[in-house]
Each structure stands twice: as structure tokens, then as C-alpha cells.
């Protein structure tokens, strides 16, 4: 037994619905775009797409099959001779539905159903575009990696430069900091973190761990070190 189409029937009977869809399909083929209710547009879409599929075959049997639904000879001629060639290369999706403002009066949802006649890009063109996009993406990734490597090298060079040991005239540098003087000639402590120097007997002298030891305050100041706590606090040499 034939099964009825799912959903509410458009007309008062099955025959009325068939005639309604046939008339809508005829108008869509002739005008390429029509405005109707959203329910009718959704029911019309599969009908028209099946007709277009048969029209793309183009043989006599297909033409006679289409004429069972569409009786208008001009519409059939336009479908087979004018529209079908424009759908070559498009595998389905021959129509589009765009919702519009509701109809005045009964507020019924309205929509515009139209034929998709835009040319389809060839597979070779699409493949070439995809390949070009992939190459561009790989190139961008390679450039980002190269830039990251150059930044890492610059950072390493900067770290190496900053790690270079500076030798000051009139000073002795210890590999590790110490609070005890390396010899009797170098008693002034130089703190490179604060760039301050401490003379024996000053306030923070005993607590300061120094890597650089100067023989005179003049040498410490010439190296860029300032007296800790001010000049007055560093005039108590032992």
C-alpha cells in the first residue's frame, strides 16, 4: 500500500497536493525563484530536485517522466534545454530556501525558494586551492619556527653576554661570594647586585657577601660602585 507523505497535507486531498506542488514546480522552473510559505517550500524542494536530476539525464524517457508532473511544455523545454546544462558538475543541492518575514494577515512563515545556478568550481581548481593553502600554512609554520629559533639564539646570546665576567681595575674577583677578604690588600667589599661597596667597620660590612673586593674606595667608585648608605657611612676604614 502507498504510504502518505509525512507531515500535514498541503491541500484538501492527495490529488490537490500533487497539483499544488506541480504548479509551484512549474513556476520555479520558469521564474527561477518564487516566494511561498515555508511549509510549501520544504515540500517543493525534493520534488524539484528529482525533476532536475531527470532533466540532467536528458533522454526521452526522462522527458516523458517529467511531463507526468509538469504539463507546461515551455517549462519542460526550459528545464531540459536551459537549466539542466547549468547544473552540470553539481551533485545535488539544486535549490536553496531563505526564510523571510511572516505574511501579513495570518502571520504564516514565508520563504523564498530559488534555483542554485552559480557555476560549480572544478575539482582541479578546488584541489589546487587546497594545495596552495596547505603550502602557505606549512610555510607560515616554518617561518614561525625559524623566528622562534632566532629569538632563542638571541636570548642565549644575551644571557651569555650578561653572564660574562667584568673585571674591574684594582679588584679581585672570587668564583663564589665570601664574607672574608681574599688578602690584606683588598678589604673593600663590592656587591654587584646592588652596585654598592662596603668598607671595613661599616654597618653592613660583616653581613655582606661579596664577589668583588677592591683595594681602595676610589677603585670601587671608578668601577661604578656607590657607597652603601651614603659617603658618610663608608668613611670608617679600619
Q: Looking at per-residue confidence, does 60 or 170 come out higher?
A: 60
Instruction: Kindly report, residue by residue over 11-65, the tens digit of the pLDDT.
Output: 778 888 899 999 999 999 999 999 999 999 999 999 999 999 999 998 999 999 9
pLDDT at 6: 62
Give residues with Cβ within 8 angstroms of 71, minimum separation 6.
Answer: 22
Of 223, 216, 86, nearest to 166 by C-alpha is: 223
Say which range, 28-32, 152-156, 206-210, has the weakest mean pLDDT: 152-156
Say which range, 64-78, 86-100, 212-226, has the weakest mean pLDDT: 212-226
Instruction: Kindly report, residue by residue over 50-63, the tens digit of the pLDDT.
Output: 999 999 998 999 99
C-alpha cell at 119: 557555476
Q: What is the model's pTM?
A: 0.50
pLDDT at 238: 41
55, 28 in Cβ contact below 8 A?
A: no
Amino acid at each position: 500500500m502507498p504510504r502518505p507523505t509525512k507531515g500535514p497535507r498541503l491541500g484538501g486531498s492527495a490529488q490537490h497536493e500533487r497539483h499544488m506542488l506541480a504548479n509551484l514546480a512549474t513556476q520555479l522552473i520558469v521564474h527561477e525563484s518564487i516566494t511561498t510559505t515555508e511549509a510549501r517550500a520544504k515540500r517543493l524542494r525534493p520534488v524539484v530536485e528529482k525533476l532536475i536530476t531527470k532533466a540532467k539525464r536528458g533522454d526521452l524517457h526522462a522527458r516523458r517522466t517529467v511531463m507526468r508532473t509538469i504539463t507546461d511544455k515551455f517549462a519542460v523545454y526550459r528545464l531540459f534545454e536551459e537549466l539542466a546544462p547549468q547544473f552540470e558538475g553539481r551533485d545535488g543541492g539544486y535549490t536553496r530556501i531563505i526564510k523571510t518575514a511572516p505574511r501579513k494577515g495570518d502571520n504564516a512563515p514565508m520563504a523564498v525558494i530559488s534555483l542554485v545556478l552559480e557555476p560549480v568550481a572544478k575539482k582541479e581548481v578546488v584541489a589546487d586551492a587546497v594545495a596552495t593553502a596547505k603550502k602557505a600554512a606549512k610555510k607560515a609554520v616554518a617561518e614561525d619556527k625559524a623566528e622562534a629559533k632566532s629569538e632563542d639564539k638571541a636570548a642565549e646570546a644575551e644571557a651569555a653576554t650578561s653572564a660574562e665576567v667584568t673585571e674591574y681595575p684594582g679588584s679581585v674577583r672570587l668564583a663564589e661570594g665570601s664574607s672574608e677578604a681574599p688578602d690584606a690588600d683588598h678589604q673593600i667589599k663590592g656587591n654587584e647586585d646592588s652596585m654598592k661597596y662596603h668598607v671595613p667597620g661599616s654597618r653592613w660590612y660583616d653581613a655582606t657577601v661579596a664577589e668583588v673586593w677592591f683595594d681602595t674606595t676610589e677603585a670601587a667608585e671608578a668601577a661604578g660602585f656607590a657607597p652603601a648608605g651614603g659617603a658618610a657611612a663608608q668613611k670608617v676604614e679600619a
